Amino acid sequence: MGKKHSPRFLATVEHSRAVIQECDIEQFSSMLNDGDGIVVIDVREQHEYDAGCFEGALHLSKGVIERDIEKHPIPENARIVLYCGGGFRSAIAAESLTRMGYANVYSLWGGWRSLVAAGLASPNQ
């Protein structure tokens, strides 16, 4: 069962989704294997990340991503895929990074739940 989100949050997410690039789990899987390079960023909160993450993902929670992304050597034209629990927070973060000048940012629709369902990640035991 999904979380019950407030109408204003959902409107914000829908606005972001309309102006960003999104990928689904199948497209993400293809990106992982196409040889073009990819930076995967987990934008969930620390406790979520600690419970399990995509192997190799950089952790920059949505609350600090704008402040801290430039501490990492990520070129503005790098292909970046953000994920959260389901694709809502990552959509908002993707819009923000796009405004900051990152040109090839995607939000993974389905997020962590889709990674686990596809067998690409598993929760820590």
C-alpha–C-alpha distance, residues 25 and 20, integer Å: 16
Instruction: Determine the pLDDT at residue 125.
Output: 58
Q: Backbone phi, then psi, for 58, in 5-degree steps?
A: -80, 135
Q: 114 Cβ partners below 8 Å, 6+ apart? A: 24, 25, 87, 108
Residue 116: per-residue pLDDT: 97
pTM: 0.95
Q: How far is the C-alpha of 37 from the C-alpha of 124, rounded, in Å? A: 26
Beta strands, E only, the chain = 21-23, 39-42, 58-59, 79-83, 104-108
- List the pLDDT tens digit at each of the 125 positions of the chain: 467 899 999 999 999 999 999 999 999 999 999 999 999 999 999 999 999 999 999 999 999 999 999 999 999 999 999 999 999 999 999 999 999 999 999 999 999 999 999 999 989 85
Phi-psi region of 118 (alpha: psi -120 to 50; beta: other; left: phi over 0): alpha
- The C-alpha atoms of residue 43 and residue 63 are separated, in whole angstroms, by 8
- Kindly state the DSSP code that residue 76 receives in the 8-state scheme: T
Domains recognised in the chain with CATH numbers: 22-72+81-117 (3.40.250.10)
